[in-house]
Structure formats: C-alpha cells, structure tokens
Amino acid sequence: MLQLNDVYKTFNIGTINEKHALCGLNLHLNPGDFTTVIGGNGAGKSTMLNAISGVWPIDSGSIIINGTDVTALPEYKRAGYLGRVFQDPMLGTAAQMEIQENLALALRRGKKRTLRWGISNEEREKYHELLKTLDLGLEDRLTTKVGLLSGGQRQALTLLMATLTKPDLLLLDEHTAALDPKTAAKVLEISDRIIAEEKLTALMVTHNMRDAIAHGNRLIMLKDGRIILDIAGEEKKHLTVEDLLAKFASVAGEDLDNDRMLLG
C-alpha cells in the first residue's frame, strides 16, 4: 500500500542548522497494516509523515502509494490518497466554518471543486449518523462553528473527516499528544474502531510507548532518520515495554533516554 524507497531529506543544507532528517528511509506497508511509529525527539517521525504527505519535496528516493509514484506530486494532489490528522487540534479543521461545512470539505477530498452547492441534504443525514458514532454529542450541532469545540472534539472530528472518503493511507501524527489523558484515550479508541471497521492502512506516530504497543499490528522505531526496529505479527502482540527497551539498547547500542517515552 505504501512504499518508501531510500528516502533522504536534509533541512537547511549548507547552514549551521543543517539537519539530516531522513537518511535512507525504507518502509513497505501491506494493505490493512496498522503501524505505530515511535522514536525520540528528532528521530524523523513527523518528518516521515510530512514526506509522505508532500509538505515539501524529498531530496532523493521515491514514495509510492497504492502503486502510484507520488514523489513528484504537490501536497494537494496527494491528498486524494491520504487521510491526515495532525498533532495540533487547530490544524485539522477550519475554525470559523460549521461542523457540516468542514465535513463537506472533507467528503470532497481529492475531487475537483465545482460550482455545485457545497453540501446536500443526504450528506447532512449521513453526517448526523456518523457524528452519533463519536458519542460526543456533536450530531445535533451540525451548524456549530468548529472553533467552539474542545480540542478532543476537534480531533475526533478531524479523524472522521480524514476517513470520510476512504483513504489509501491514514496518517496520524501524534494526534492525541495535545489532549488530556482521558480525552486522548477516547480519541485513540475512536481511531482503533474506525481503522478496524474500514480496514484502513494506517501509520500512527506516538510519543507513548504503551500506546504504540497496545495499538496496531506492527511497530517501527525510528532513530536518526532510519528505521532501527520493525516488530510485527505474534512478536508485536506479546511485546512489553521492557522488551522494547531491551531491543532498543541492543540495536542502538545505547539506552533510551527519553523520559517522555518511558513515562508515557
């Protein structure tokens, strides 16, 4: 479903801030893979998702989504393949527009915008039903401006928007990191449910080791812009935090020193 072939990306080339963000990244996702991504600060987790989304062009390598080489496509042209949820709840929705308007924008992801009316009555009913499944009381607030919602509600809505038109690949970029623990758990639960129901291929970046272990069928760990650990199948099912720490130490030749990851 997704192939990253030898992807390189360096920021601020030739300056004192030069940063080799991705250094020969290779990843192959099978259809239906729900892969969690962990790694310390600056390991390249978000950079990898941004490379896939086309926020900026990569330096070398290729990116193939569902058989299509998207390496040269700009961000908005790749959107047809991708559903995205960002870390910042403000980024996924248009605050001054209504809930239903946001959903209507998302329903047309990857399609040409025409002069047809932006939202139809059948759509409204569909949105009502879908919002009900979130169990956040949003179904009766279709015309509420999104800016009035809480971070958790906005994140749940963004998740719904990202999957409204089934994406080839769902990218979750630490989408619960800005939420309080209870809301984060709820949003994670919704993510799990939607991914399972729609049989989505997904990449979920997280700072939280426990979440990375508890969710998905595959786990990869990034360090210095490369994948250093790739655990799937039965091994992933029975993985514990201690296993993961031990594996990291043996692969990286050093102890994991990121408090946020350990405590999570």
Q: Which residues are near other proteins by CB under 8 A?
A: 53, 74-77, 79-80, 82, 84, 86, 90-97, 101-102, 104-106, 108-111, 113-119, 161
Of 39 and 92, CB closest to other proteins: 92
What are the φ and ψ backbone dihedral angles of 14, each rounded to 5 degrees? Answer: 80, 5
220 is written with which tokens?
């990869």
Of 138 and 256, CB closest to other proteins: 138
For tokens 């998702």, the residue is 49
- Give the nearest distance from C-beta 76 to other proteins in angstroms: 5
- Give the nearest distance from C-beta 117 to other proteins in angstroms: 6
- Give the nearest distance from C-beta 200 to other proteins in angstroms: 16
Rounded distance between C-alpha atoms, residue 170 and residue 217, angstroms:
15
Rounded distance between C-alpha atoms, residue 231 and residue 220, angstroms:
6
- Give the nearest distance from C-beta 26 to other proteins in angstroms: 25
Of 52 and 261, CB closest to other proteins: 52
- Candidates 160, 173, 146, 162; CA nearest to 86 is 173
- Candidates 84, 188, 194; CA nearest to 130 is 194
Of 77 and 132, CB closest to other proteins: 77
